Amino acid sequence: MEPYLLTATECLEKFKDGSLTVEAYARSLLSRIEQRDPVVKAWTYLDPAYVIEQAKALDQIPPAKRGPLHGVSIAVKDVMYTKRMPTQHNSPIYKGDSPEVDAGSVTVLKNAGALLIGKSATTEFASAKNGPPTCNPHDPTRTPGGSSSGSGAAVGDFQAAIGLGTQTGGSTIRPGSFNGVYSMKLTWNSVTREGHKIYSLTLDTTGFFARSVDDLNLLADVFALADDETSKQEAFNIKGAKFALLRTMAWPDAGPGTIAAMDTAAEILRQHGAEVESIELPPEFDNMPEWHRIIMDTEARPVFLPEYRIAKEKLQPFIVGHVENSTNISRAAQLAAFDGIAALRPLIDKIAGSYAAIITPSVVDEAPTGQAHTGSPAFNIIWTALHTPVVNVPGFKGENGMPIGLSLVAPRFHDRHLLTVCKAVGTIFEAEGGWKRQCHI
Amino acid sequence: MEPYLLTATECLEKFKDGSLTVEAYARSLLSRIEQRDPVVKAWTYLDPAYVIEQAKALDQIPPAKRGPLHGVSIAVKDVMYTKRMPTQHNSPIYKGDSPEVDAGSVTVLKNAGALLIGKSATTEFASAKNGPPTCNPHDPTRTPGGSSSGSGAAVGDFQAAIGLGTQTGGSTIRPGSFNGVYSMKLTWNSVTREGHKIYSLTLDTTGFFARSVDDLNLLADVFALADDETSKQEAFNIKGAKFALLRTMAWPDAGPGTIAAMDTAAEILRQHGAEVESIELPPEFDNMPEWHRIIMDTEARPVFLPEYRIAKEKLQPFIVGHVENSTNISRAAQLAAFDGIAALRPLIDKIAGSYAAIITPSVVDEAPTGQAHTGSPAFNIIWTALHTPVVNVPGFKGENGMPIGLSLVAPRFHDRHLLTVCKAVGTIFEAEGGWKRQCHI
């Protein structure tokens, strides 16, 4: 098997038993990237010499001193600071800019022995609009989603084992679904956002991309994620577990692929002995989409003031609109949204806490065609605002054979519990959901 | 008058009428600093050549193209990134570190024409402990407060007109009081914190130091702070205005200086025709100090993981304790604090909105002796957690003649209203409160 096909967990085993060197792994990835980059265009910066240099240095580390991510390949979203690699935010203002500092998340990954492949493409400042030229590896005429377009596509296309992303609307879960990978939006503020570009302090959340739940657990270890209860994690059985099936207020947007995925998921879970209960959110959640929009727009106002002042003409009009408050959102409305969502967080924790997980759509449907529009975050925004952990679990497919995933949601700071559930659920969704992972050439 | 004595507003007038050049102003400040730095030790980095270089460049700008802070001298707290000057966080881990990037706030200030004097001393990572060697300019045997020790002392000692600070506990308001200057903690997230070291996302707030309310208004303009209502700002009269006098749950900590300041303030306001009503916070606010501590400790946990991983031995034990959760705070307790405080924010807005401002202590008393301990934030923490704007207004003095200020508080996003009130209140407090600003030699 070509080393680039390995998940993080798989390549760690081979580094450990001596059957693979990091350098050989790196060269395999670089040749995969060389082959596929003209089609997928996942990277905004990639220096093969720097990758090999890291790999050689990692191979020199004696086995006893190797970190838990020793040699694991990582794509870093280009809104996160990295030493030795520019950070450009897909903005002409930051073209070629290279602050010599690592984001906190990057420091943790490097310290764990990660192999940084390069900077992955993003929409401008990780916004909801203006996709980069990145293409979906499963069909290059389609979007890989956004804003973490490059991380989703790189992991989906076997160009990196792990991707680092962020989510303010649906920027981690949506590309996870579109590219057929696992993606996880963590509990808000459970991983440092130091050195990630800010869009909205209340909404911005760190995210991970991987091709297995084991890999997500590896990252959860490295970032010291810890639930209060750890007993549940050891013994989870789908048989006898209770799941909530939640369509949410965004359901009218759902296309045939997502509708079918929700039905199939319920059927598979029931066949495996789980109880699946359809639930609805209480009416007080109806304002969530509007409140999310208000928070995103108003919190972006101070954040982009520096760029507005130095180079307004180089910003997209909607970002200029944030700073100028072009939609005339009052402070009173901003606070009503901020406080309104805050009051709902303990409520959703209680609802989600009654189930192994809530199962809800990740996307309206399979990835749409074109690159400019990265798809709708309609099914993601409420979870971002509610701060709950969410994992996109792949396994289903749309009418054109493109991957579709579903979101599993748990209460805040139940990230480890959620991963345990996703490990079991992912196994059966991937086996029986109808979509099979392929490595395209 | 020596140019270093000028407030920002005063020096802007002189730059405008041509009676002062930025270079002459800069040289005056540098000679003041040269004279006083051995005593006050406000700076962790200061390169006179860079200051003069900026000043000369500013003098070259034609009058029509000058920014609203043209030539105004600024001290930047050393937890904020600055190009050309190292950012060291008072941590051995970052000794000599100089990421070539400006914090968002620094970009805005530079774009407005500010003259950056240097980096001002901070406690380690702007924490509540371990003061830098900075001394109080009014009595070098005493602390200038913290964590924004250098910005408070530099502005209080006429070494800069403006200081940039942050507040997670009481790091802006307390040094404001101790150094006899105006200091303002803004509404949370009303000025970008991009490129400021994170301690707690929920608590960290940008702050300003100045020797006049006019200067704070200048900064409010530059950072585009805007309330919903602007009419109140134009016509504020102390006569007929209603103030709340609030002692808070921290009152048992208050020393004679603060007790006297509260009494004197009420008396002065009443003499000027204001109504002063003593109020108490409803009992649901009793948990605030405990909740603040829980949020600060738990949100610091992911934030310092990178430093913990790369150089645990170089961190203070209490920061190691944050990462290791040495006080065993559960996620459930963290969420109870996070949600509990969130529920109180609309309540305090309503209470504060019934008055011109709430008047409450800034400090337990005048600055204590010694440098290691920077004083108690007991009277500041609840406002930090509640996200309201607070201005320390100087004018009173303690038993040893040291300055004491009082905090004026308004509802969230009423920063401009609060400044209008502080302009009137500050005028009479400074005239009649008993403490007179002095420039020590």
Taking only the tens place, the pLDDT of each residue in B47-102 is: 999 999 999 999 999 999 999 999 999 999 999 999 999 999 999 999 999 999 99
- Is residue B62 within 8 A of residue B151, CB to CB? The reply is no
A45 φ/ψ angles, rounded to the nearest 5 degrees: -155, 130
Task: Give the Cβ contact number of residue A2 at 10 Å.
Answer: 12
Strand-pair category, B115-120 with A275-279: unpaired
Segment 121-160 of chain B within 8 Å of chain A by CB: none
Nearest to A228 among B98, B202, B332 (CB): B332
* Mean per-residue pLDDT, B418-422: 98
Produce one character per residue of B104-132: b if its CB has 16 or more CB atoms within 10 Å, e if not. Answer: bbbbbbbbbbbbbbbbbbbbbbbbbbbbb
Percent helix, strand, coil in chain B, to 5, is 45, 15, 40
* Mean per-residue pLDDT, B190-196: 97
pLDDT score for A91: 96
Give the C-alpha separation, A137 to A178, whole Å: 9
Chain B residue with CA closest to A331: the answer is B228
> SS3 string of B211-252?
CCHHHHHHHHHHCCCCCCCCHHHHCCCCCCCEEEEECCCCHH
Confidence of residue B131 (pLDDT cuts 50, 70, 90): confident
Task: Give the Cβ contact number of residue B95 at 10 Å.
Answer: 11
Above pLDDT 90, what percent of chain B?
96
Min CA distance, A169 vs chain B (Å)?
A: 19
Examine the pLDDT at B241 and tell me if it is beyond 70: yes
Segment 226-265 of chain A within 8 Å of chain B by CB: 226-228
B408 φ/ψ angles, rounded to the nearest 5 degrees: -105, 135
Chain A residues touching residue B342 (CB < 8 angstroms): 339, 342-343, 345
* Mean per-residue pLDDT, B105-123: 98
pLDDT score for B285: 98
What are the catalytic residues of B?
Answer: 77, 147, 171
Confidence of residue B310 (pLDDT cuts 50, 70, 90): very high
Nearest to B305 among A224, A228, A309 (CB): A224
Q: Which of B147, B210, B154, B151 is nearest to B181 (CA)?
A: B210
Chain A residues touching residue B315 (CB < 8 angstroms): none
Q: Which of A396, A382, A428, A426 is nearest to A408 (CA)?
A: A426
Q: Is A77 a known active-site residue?
A: yes
Min CA distance, A194 vs chain B (Å)?
A: 7
Chain B residues touching residue A319 (CB < 8 angstroms): none
Top CATH class of B3-282+343-432 equals: alpha beta
Chain B residues touching residue A224 (CB < 8 angstroms): 301-302, 305, 323
B326 φ/ψ sector (left φ>0, alpha ψ -120 to 50, else beta): alpha
Secondary structure (3-state) at A107? helix
Measured between CB atoms, does A311 come within 8 Å of chain B?
Answer: no
A380 φ/ψ angles, rounded to the nearest 5 degrees: -105, -30
One-letter amino acid identity for A62? P
- Cβ distance B99 to A99 less than 8 Å, yes or no, reads yes
The string of DSSP letters for A56-81 reads: HHHHHS-GGG--TTTT-EEEEETTB-
- Is residue B359 within 8 A of residue B241, CB to CB? The reply is no
Min CA distance, A415 vs chain B (Å)?
A: 11
Segment 206-225 of chain A within 8 Å of chain B by CB: 223-224
Annotated catalytic residue within A28, A73, A151, A171: A171
DSSP for residue B367? P
- Cβ distance B413 to A303 less than 8 Å, yes or no, reads no
- The domain segmentation of chain B, as residue ranges, is 3-282+343-432
Measured between CB atoms, does B31 come within 8 Å of chain A?
Answer: no
Low-confidence residues of chain A: pLDDT under 50: none
B192 φ/ψ angles, rounded to the nearest 5 degrees: -60, 140
A369 φ/ψ angles, rounded to the nearest 5 degrees: -75, 160
- B243-295 pLDDT per residue, tens: 999 999 999 999 999 999 999 999 999 999 999 999 999 999 999 999 999 99
- Cβ distance B224 to A305 less than 8 Å, yes or no, reads yes
* Mean per-residue pLDDT, B133-143: 97
Measured between CB atoms, does A199 come within 8 Å of chain B?
Answer: no
pLDDT score for A315: 97
Chain B residues touching residue A228 (CB < 8 angstroms): 330-332
- Cβ distance B192 to A303 less than 8 Å, yes or no, reads yes
Give the C-alpha separation, A69 to A57, whole Å: 14
Measured between CB atoms, does B193 come within 8 Å of chain A?
Answer: yes
Interface test with B, best of A79, A98, A331, A416 (most B CBs within 10 A): A331
Q: What is the mean pLDDT of chain B?
A: 97
pLDDT score for A104: 98
Produce one character per residue of B42-63: b if its CB has 16 or more CB atoms within 10 Å, e if not. Answer: bbbbbebeebbebbeebbeeee
Measured between CB atoms, does B410 come within 8 Å of chain A?
Answer: no
Give the C-alpha separation, B256 to B262, whole Å: 10
Give the C-alpha separation, B157 to B32, whole Å: 9
The two tokens of residue B300 are 């610091």
pLDDT score for B232: 58
Taking CA B415 as the corner, what is the angle to CA B220 and CA B417, rounded to the nearest 5 degrees? 105
pLDDT score for A230: 76
Give the C-alpha separation, A398 to A180, whole Å: 11
